Structure formats: C-alpha cells, structure tokens
Amino acid sequence: MHNLWGFAITIIGLLMFLAGLTKTEFIVYRFVAARSRSLWGNRVHSFYIVAGLMAAVFGVLVALGFIHR
C-alpha cells in the first residue's frame, strides 16, 4: 500500500513542479496559484517549484518504505 500512496504523492509533486516551472495556464493551477499569490506575491511559481520537488522526494521515500507508520 505504501507503493501506491508514494507513487501518487510523487506524481502530484512532479505535476506541481512542472506547472510552476512552465507557469502553465491550466485552470486548476491558475486557481491554486491565485490563492497562493496573496501570501507569496510574484514568487508563487518558485514556491510551487520547491514545494513540488519536496512532495516528489517525500513520495519516493514513502514508496521505498523509508517513511511509514
């Protein structure tokens, strides 16, 4: 079960990373970035790049079993 959750977290993290890197106009990312813009200002895309990488690394660690209950 850890593999499934780890894989899902990794995919979400990579999608966040890619969306922040390309500054995509995908509707979901636009809504999430708009909500974060009040806190992060013009650095909102940089925030999603870093947060996406952190989520992806965490997902890999969960999938490999280094982080578990």
Q: pLDDT per residue over 1-39, tens digit each?
A: 778 999 999 999 999 999 999 999 999 999 999 999 999
Calpha distance 8→1 (Å, rounded)? 11
Count of domains for the chain: 1
Residue 36: in which H helix or E strand, if any? Answer: helix 27-40
Calpha distance 61→25 (Å, rounded)? 30
Calpha distance 62→22 (Å, rounded)? 27
Domain of 36 in residue numbering reads as: 2-64
Q: pLDDT per residue over 44-60, tens digit each?
A: 999 999 999 999 999 99
* Residue 69 domain-assigned (yes or no): no
Q: Which residue has the higher pLDDT, 69 or 13?
A: 13
* Residue 59 domain-assigned (yes or no): yes
pLDDT of residue 38: 92
